[in-house]
Amino acid sequence: MSDALHSHLVHERGNRPRGPSPVDLVSVQSQLAYGYAGNSAAVPVLRMLGVRVAEVPTTLLSNTPFYPTLRGRVLPADWLADLLRGLDERGVTARAPLLLSGYFGSVANGEAFADWLEAHHRAGAAPRYLLDPVIGDTHTGAYVEPGLEAVFAQRLLPLAWMAAPNAFELERLAGQPALREADALRAARTLLGRGPEWVLAHSVAGTDDDLVTLLVGRDGAWRLRSPRLEVDVAGTGDVLCALLAAFLLRGETPVRAAERALAGVHAALESTLAQGWEELDVQAAAAAALADGPARSPAVAL
């Protein structure tokens, strides 16, 4: 920040209370002007569920890359590092019980985030970390810079409390097949051996025409089934992780949080189809996830 800008922006408010504002979650992801992916999908859902979130952008883009044009840019790594440093200066990282990361946009941003998180771990002051290792998908292939996979596997996975890859990402991180249930279960257990206590593997091919989500922990594993819907929009994984984080913060078990998260994502997809919209209806997710009664996708112990 230039001296001129600093002198213009920084001033003292005489009657400002001194109590720090509470923060439940720091979310480090992409940001869009139009549409729903990254923080632009996760933050509305989190706030509808009462989560006080500090959002840190890794990109500022006009829209997702699934349109004929794309404007904006990936943030330079020194910008991302500066934003994270600014949160530390306000004491936000020390107060937030949960940290979520998603799409980084560049290897440099992934490395800047890893540098920051490793420093907090060395100091014994890191929040519990939910890693969404955004790499790609089965129908798109990888859509990030190749070196980012090594950042996830070697630097971030060992620091994560929970990792939430889709089947394609699980396969890349584990270095073994993971697109179908039996393979995904083995691959998830491979990841457990590298650091996290939990792996939520989603978008795994099931039998017939359903999708399987596997929640795998040190002491057990659960299968959740959901019907496959003929709709392809961005942001479903981001909403899934946002819902998962919100219910973990509410004190739900990982199993119940996963059930609620899947219910919310499925409701958002159903509403998107019904409305005929080109973007995910994220506002439909929270109410469905909050609904009481039997789980829409009940977890079955394996």
CA dihedral 245, 103, 52, 240 (to 10 degrees): -30
pLDDT at 8 (0 to 100): 62
Q: What does the alpha-carbon distance between residue 91 and residue 127 come to, in Å, rounded to a whole number?
A: 12
pLDDT for the residue numbered 9? 66
Q: How would residue 140 be classed by pLDDT, with cut points 50, 70 and 90?
A: confident
pLDDT of residue 10: 66
In the 3-class helix/strand/coil scheme, how is 95-117 assigned residue by residue?
HCCEEEECCCCCHHHHHHHHHHH
pTM above 0.85, yes or no: yes
Task: Report pLDDT for 18.
Answer: 83
Arithmetic mean of pLDDT over the chain: 94
pLDDT exceeds 80 at position 208: no
Distance from C-alpha of 124 to C-alpha of 44, rounded to nearest angstrom: 31
Per-residue pLDDT for 2 more than 70? no
- Kindly report, residue by residue over 4-36, the tens digit of the pLDDT: 666 666 666 677 788 889 999 999 999 999 999
Q: Is the pLDDT of residue 232 over 80?
A: yes
189 close to 152: Cβ distance less than 8 angstroms = no
How many other C-beta atoms are found inside a 10 Å radius of the C-beta of residue 142? 14
- Condensed to tens digits (0 to 9), the pLDDT of residues 253-295 reads 999 999 999 999 999 999 999 999 999 999 999 999 999 888 8
Q: Is the pLDDT of residue 106 over 90?
A: yes
Check residue 272 and give its pLDDT: 97
Q: Does 1 score more than 80 pLDDT?
A: no
Contact 160, 195 (CB under 8 A): yes
Residue positions counted in the chain: 302
Q: 128: which residues sit within 8 A by CB, 6+ positions away? A: 97, 98, 99, 161
Three-state DSSP at 13 gives: coil
Q: How far apart are CA 138 and CA 167, in angstroms?
A: 8
SS3 123: coil
Half-sphere exposure of 34 (CA within 13 A, CB side): 11
Give the separation between CA 9 and CA 168, rounded to whole angstroms: 45
Q: Angle formed by the axes of helices 236-249 and 254-275, to 10°?
A: 140
Q: Which domains does the chain have, with CATH numbers?
A: 21-301 (3.40.1190.20)
CA distance 162 to 196: 5
φ, ψ of residue 242 to 5 degrees: the values are: -65, -45
Confidence (pLDDT) at 293? 87
Buried b (16+ CB within 10 A) or exposed e, 151-169: bbbebbbebbbbbbbbbbb
**Rounded average pLDDT over 205-219:** 91
57: helix, strand or coil: strand
Tell me the two tokens of residue 19: 């109590």
Q: What is the mean pLDDT of residues 151-179?
A: 97
